[in-house]
Structure 1
Amino acid sequence: MHILATSSASLDDLAEPIDLRQTPADVVALSFTDSDLAGLAAAWKADAARLPSMRLAALRDLRHPMSVDLWIDSVARHARVVLVRILGGYDWWRYGCDQLAAVVRERGIKLALLPGESHDEDQRLIEASTLPRAELDALLGYFREGGPANMAALVQRLARLAGSEAAVAEPVGVPKAGYYEPSLGVVDRPLSKVGGPSPPSLSCRTSPPQGGRSAFTGAGAYSSKASKEPSATPAIGETVDDRAISPPEGEMSGRTERGATELDVDNFAVVPILFYRSMLLAADVAPIDALAEALKLQGMAPVPIFVSSLKDPASLAFVEAALAALNPAAIVTATAFASGAEPGAETLFDRAGVPVFQVIVATTRREVWENNQRGLAPADLAMHVVLPELDGRILAGAISFKGEIETDPALAFRAFANRPEMDRVAQVAKRIAAFIRLQRTKRAERKLAILIPDYPSAPGRTGYAVGLDVPSSVLAMLHDLKEQGYAVEGIPQSPRALLDALEADGQGLSSEDYLRLSAGLPEGARDAVRAAWGSAEDQIGLREAPLSVLSDISPSGGGIGSSAAGSPLARPKIGESRAQGMIFPPEGEMSGRTERGATERLPLKAAAPRHFPFRAATFGNVTVALAPDRGRSADRRADYHDPALPPRHELIAFGLWLQKSLGVHAIIHVGAHGT
């Protein structure tokens, strides 16, 4: 459904004054990122009895100048040390930087203004700070490396600057990229246990291999021997119990002492999950854990990989080596933006050669997403939807939103963390499983649905799209699919014959099947449909649809170029006019078009009294169809674009018919559509 989103805003709408109502403290820290604040909070609470008082605040709450002034007067001017980490640098918090710089110099307070991007240098932040350059670099080093140990050392260093006798430790290096296992943390090799819960959070020591089928051979590399035993691998998309593959007699099982299994790259669809290292360092990986578990339950082998950035050379090299070793069926990434390759240059994902699914770990708060018709906030739409499309990533959906966790009164800080949305996580896992299932199905066995537009416009413009001859395009696709090994039979000889077939085939879904299949839909959704349209029984057998008309935009004028019946479309040879390569009706017969371009419509077959009829025709394993109206045919323009209006029973029945009755693996939309 295409919805035109229009909105207006002023500067006053973008931020409102907020009084954080914090009390003074010796050390004050601010940041745009929840991971920074969560790490500092955890480090301070672990040793609070021996540390000076601390206050934390999110810069998103201090965007309005009045909020900044209130906070400086009540908190900052009474502190001994103020640390601010600004994502985007000086320009993103210009007013706050200027006011703080003036106050701390007046009162002799130590101020450290640090860039949010650890690799960048912002000379204006350095000049506004009161600490020496070496001290600023040291403080930034703790953020650059990250992790609980470095956050603890950072808190100790801030305490020392505030006058405490705390011991000071230098930053400790943490890998820029590596493998991660839910409940275990960072591991030196991928571990996976398909179909069951993740192993417990204990140390993991792999049993020594004794000729096992999968042996670790180097950094991120695997070698495998083919097993002669039949595989116990579950079908992709099938929810499974924990079914381990038994090793040949005399071999080790490959399980670790604590219950984890080494990754079996031969028998499972391996799906790496790329996510930001900052999530790991802030212990904010619940969405990744949930997604990994959901993929396992769908019969896949997830391999979580953390990266500092896909623009970081070390991270990029690690991921390249990991993908080469794992031979994945697909990739899931929770990283934002595009990969950063130069125009025309190959990206990491191009070289991988497999589909890449984008999942959204949203910064939008859940209640905002739920109550806003637009859904995600503009920043999330830009970072996770628009820019990743430049890499050709496939949007799989949001898996988590920001949610408030327990407020710590000692820090006067409202902490937010990534909260997985479990039904969305399951939906994403099913989408990926469906794609891999399609990928692994032989072409001759794949079932496809091609939907052509029936978009609201002037009556009778079925199959119309601006600048596209939809019926002729569909016929060309049917021929191309047949050439590529798909089971396609009985291809119509003309666009007119195709549209006639859609009206005459008499396909549909019985009322009994609809009631049975729709019972699996969420109860709230079923209630909304009944409230808007009444019971399903009231709509069964109805067929509100405009007359089918083929617009006169086809260069063939109703015929289709072909060298022989059922052969691929023929293009005119050099020196031959297009008309010479076309098939026309026998002399004296009409092509099926009226003088004004409309097609004559065959009478509808009488619908069965307990039946949802669909305009569809099946050609082997490919079904071509027109989707039923989403709403009232008399108000098609308004109904198609009304996000609050649930679809009619007939459209829901159509979707269930495609999914459950026909069992289609994929749907292809041709031209405009409003469903």
Structure 2
Amino acid sequence: MNIQPLKIVYFTSNGSDVMPVVSAVSELAEEDPGKFEICLRSREDLAEDGKLEEFLDSAREANIIIMHFMGGKKSFPNFDGFMAALEGSSAVLHLQGTASEKGLELAQLSTLNEADYQAVSSYIHYGGKENFLNLFRFLSNRFSGSRFDVAEACKPQWQGIYHPDFPGLPSLEEYLKLNYKPDRPSVGLWFYLSAIQSGNTEFIDALIREVEGQGANVIPVFLYSIQDNELGSQGTQGVIEHYFIKDGRPLIDVLISPLMFALSMWVAQSPDGNQIMPGEDTGLLTKLGVPVIKAIVTQNTAEKWQQNTDGLTQGDVTMSVAMPEFDGMLISVPVAARQFSSVDPLTGTRIVRHEALPERINKIVRLSLNWARLSHIPNGDKKVAIIFHNYPPRNDKIGNAFGLDSPASVWNILHSLQEAGYKLDKLPENGQEIIETIIDHATNDRRWKSLSEMAGQAAGLVSKPEYSGWFSQFPQKNQSKMASAWGEPPGEPFNCNDSLIIPGIINGNIFIGLQPPRGFSEDPSAIYHSPDHPPTHHYLAYYRWIRLKV
């Protein structure tokens, strides 16, 4: 008797489904050959020309159609047209959103009875290879008359410690006993559970090893970011309380976060699915009380990220720059990029992984450890730089900002710093005194003083040998572009006797400076026509001086 395979078509816009489904289908092909034919497509798969039509053809021939949305129906291209094309199909239809996207519409569009719908939803919500194996066998039992042994959906461990060198998932106490030295700076790292479930941990492993390689502790925690009592997920707040705080004090000095979106702000559907309800928790990261460094996982491939002048996609900017800023995160650099491997021969989907960017990972860890060490320096010994906007580079435009009183804001900052114990020689009476003091010293406006006068009143000078040493550390490509545009170092702008002038004032341990000119007044036509025109030697020397001298 020739038994036809059960044909299942599965669409997901939730990337964490892909690898567990692929792994489950591979095991089914070995253990139950010929009994399943499973077509899997992601949103990225359907973005290619002709792929949506191919998927529709497969759906018309399927016994079961599963659609798992992240972001609702709009995450599937031309959803209404797709559904209209399936009219008259005898296929069983199951549609659902993610666990946080609860609503009745998708359930009402499905053709499963309520019990089967809840069972299938649980397998998909809980995710992971074993749950998908049991899902497909459950569907075969229900609709093909098979008699597989099927386990009920198994909840994953929603949060926990992960380390590539540890077998299993240790408790926090076990991990601290084996891999935590109190005399070292400590870095927290949280990331999505989906990275564990999909085996997509290359960049997480690289971050962990880089932190340890730079001599610090790391507490790496995977999580499901939304608190859901029904699922058993603690969410970000629970992870902070149970993994990063002990006895009322933070265990970590800094947190690296590859999580996307704004954690303190969200929208969700009302229980009836008819309203969008906003929510906010502005104290989420305040409770932790340490700097949070945003690590970006770009949707670009590494090649596109390197070659594209924008670097990040529009989606990256929205999800990994703009929205995390609402939480007060410090935006840093990409640590991973998408890597498309070959098409899976069984399901037809492209495997997407995240490729680590080693140099950028080294950068973010160095930055994070600088923040970590800063927390152990007394405020009276800390040095701070405050930079006024100053374009055009004239004295009457220092701190120029539409609708904002920048000098008053800087005075407020100085007042708060003094109250917090930072060293100031004198607190100015007001913002106006700050500006007048700056103008009495060296500024970006070269119309009123000679270079020698400015050099005598500058906050600092960078000698030619010192700058040449810095310049030699830049990539050769950048050196050549700068030398071509501005001559050999140290160039002409703000150069007095082969020393570059640093405009600004020093008040105790506080440097108040001015945004250095990019060179508009030196070569305006070149800059107007070349948005990637290199900055002047003075521009780079200014910020390097702040980094090393302030």
- TM > 0.5 fold call: yes
Q: In 2, Cα distance between the equivalents of 1:470 and 1:639?
A: 27
Cα separation, partners in 2 of 1:94 and 1:376, compared to 1, 3 Å: closer
2:325 is the alignment partner of 1:389: yes
- Counterpart in the other structure of 1:615: 503
Q: Which of 290, 297, 317 is 2:206 aligned to? A: 290
Q: In 1, Cα distance between the equivalents of 2:207 and 2:132?
A: 27
- Counterpart in the other structure of 2:296: 360
Give runs of aligned pairs for residues 129-208 of structure 1, distance below 5 A: 129-158=110-139, 160=141, 161=143, 166-184=148-166, 186-190=168-172
- Counterpart in the other structure of 2:465: 512
* Range with bigger deviation, 132-141 or 116-125: 116-125
Partner AA of 2:514 in structure 1: L
Partner AA of 1:125 in structure 2: L
Q: Is the 8 A contact 1:80 1:162 kept in 2?
A: no
Please state how far the C-alpha of 1:64 moved relative to its aligned partner.
9.1
- Counterpart in the other structure of 2:348: 412
Give runs of aligned pairs for residues 38-437 of structure 1, distance below 5 A: 38-49=19-30, 50-51=32-33, 52-62=36-46, 67-73=51-57, 75-93=58-76, 95-96=78-79, 99-100=82-83, 103=86, 105-106=88-89, 108-113=90-95, 115-118=96-99, 120-158=101-139, 160=141, 161=143, 166-184=148-166, 186-190=168-172, 261-264=178-181, 266-313=182-229, 314-316=233-235, 317-325=238-246, 326-340=250-264, 346-437=282-373
Q: Is the 8 A contact 1:97 1:128 kept in 2?
A: no
Q: In 2, Cα distance between the equivalents of 1:48 and 1:139?
A: 21
SS at 2:466 equivalent = helix
Partner AA of 1:297 in structure 2: G
Identity of aligned residues (%): 25
- Structure 2: unaligned runs, 5 residues or longer: 266-277, 443-453
Q: Is the 8 A contact 2:179 2:217 kept in 1?
A: no
SS at 2:397 equivalent = coil
Could you report, residue by residue, the CA deviation over 1:268-290 in whole angstroms, capped at 9, with x for unpaired residues? 23322121111211111222222
Partner AA of 1:625 in structure 2: G
Q: In 2, Cα distance between the equivalents of 1:481 and 1:398?
A: 32
Q: In 2, Cα distance between the equivalents of 1:650 and 1:111?
A: 65
* Range with bigger deviation, 427-436 or 490-499: 490-499
Q: Is the 8 A contact 2:13 2:75 kept in 1?
A: no
SS at 1:306 equivalent = strand
Q: In 1, Cα distance between the equivalents of 2:256 and 2:196?
A: 17
SS at 1:536 equivalent = coil
Partner AA of 2:159 in structure 1: A
Cα separation, partners in 2 of 1:501 and 1:99, compared to 1, 3 Å: closer
Q: Is the 8 A contact 1:105 1:130 kept in 2?
A: no
Please state how far the C-alpha of 1:122 moved relative to its aligned partner.
4.3
Q: Is the 8 A contact 2:94 2:112 kept in 1?
A: yes
2:542 is the alignment partner of 1:648: no
Q: In 1, Cα distance between the equivalents of 2:529 and 2:323?
A: 25
Please state how far the C-alpha of 1:477 moved relative to its aligned partner.
5.3
**Could you tell me the TM-score, scaled by structure 2's length?**
0.80
Q: Is the 8 A contact 1:90 1:122 kept in 2?
A: no
Please state how far the C-alpha of 1:94 moved relative to its aligned partner.
7.7
Please state how far the C-alpha of 1:135 moved relative to its aligned partner.
2.3
Partner AA of 1:451 in structure 2: I
Give runs of aligned pairs for residues 582-597 of structure 1, distance below 5 A: none
Q: CA RMSD in A?
A: 3.5
Q: Is the 8 A contact 1:373 1:643 kept in 2?
A: no
Could you report, residue by residue, the CA deviation over 1:235-272 in whole angstroms, capped at 9, with x for unpaired residues? xxxxxxxxxxxxxxxxxxx5xxxxxx3323x3223322
Please state how far the C-alpha of 1:31 moved relative to its aligned partner.
0.8
Cα separation, partners in 2 of 1:96 and 1:467, compared to 1, 3 Å: closer
Q: In 1, Cα distance between the equivalents of 2:253 and 2:27?
A: 42
Cα separation, partners in 2 of 1:30 and 1:472, compared to 1, 3 Å: closer
Point out the structure with max Rg over C-alpha: 1
Q: Which of 517, 522, 532 is 1:629 aligned to? A: 517
Q: In 2, Cα distance between the equivalents of 1:103 and 1:475?
A: 66
Please state how far the C-alpha of 1:636 moved relative to its aligned partner.
5.8
SS at 1:187 equivalent = coil
Q: In 1, Cα distance between the equivalents of 2:279 and 2:16?
A: 32
SS at 1:415 equivalent = strand
Q: In 2, Cα distance between the equivalents of 1:474 and 1:369?
A: 36
Please state how far the C-alpha of 1:486 moved relative to its aligned partner.
3.1
Partner AA of 1:89 in structure 2: G
How many residues are paired up?
505
Partner AA of 1:505 in structure 2: Q
SS at 1:83 equivalent = strand
Could you report, residue by residue, the CA deviation over 1:437-481 in whole angstroms, capped at 9, with x for unpaired residues? 222212232222232332126786345444556567656755664
Partner AA of 2:109 in structure 1: A
Q: In 1, Cα distance between the equivalents of 2:405 and 2:87?
A: 69
- Counterpart in the other structure of 2:494: 543
Q: Is the 8 A contact 1:110 1:130 kept in 2?
A: yes
Partner AA of 2:258 in structure 1: A
Q: In 2, Cα distance between the equivalents of 1:352 and 1:454?
A: 36
Q: In 2, Cα distance between the equivalents of 1:391 and 1:375?
A: 23
Please state how far the C-alpha of 1:59 moved relative to its aligned partner.
2.6
Cα separation, partners in 2 of 1:154 and 1:482, compared to 1, 3 Å: same
Please state how far the C-alpha of 1:133 moved relative to its aligned partner.
3.0
Q: Is the 8 A contact 1:143 1:151 kept in 2?
A: yes
- Counterpart in the other structure of 2:448: none
Cα separation, partners in 2 of 1:40 and 1:354, compared to 1, 3 Å: same
Q: Is the 8 A contact 2:12 2:43 kept in 1?
A: yes
Q: Is the 8 A contact 1:27 1:159 kept in 2?
A: no
Q: In 2, Cα distance between the equivalents of 1:637 and 1:468?
A: 31
Please state how far the C-alpha of 1:187 moved relative to its aligned partner.
2.0
Partner AA of 2:436 in structure 1: R
2:438 is the alignment partner of 1:498: yes
Q: Is the 8 A contact 1:311 1:340 kept in 2?
A: no
**Could you tell me the TM-score, scaled by structure 1's length?**
0.66
Q: Is the 8 A contact 1:358 1:394 kept in 2?
A: yes
Please state how far the C-alpha of 1:624 moved relative to its aligned partner.
3.0
Could you report, residue by residue, the CA deviation over 1:335-357 in whole angstroms, capped at 9, with x for unpaired residues? 22223567775533122222222
Q: Is the 8 A contact 1:330 1:356 kept in 2?
A: yes
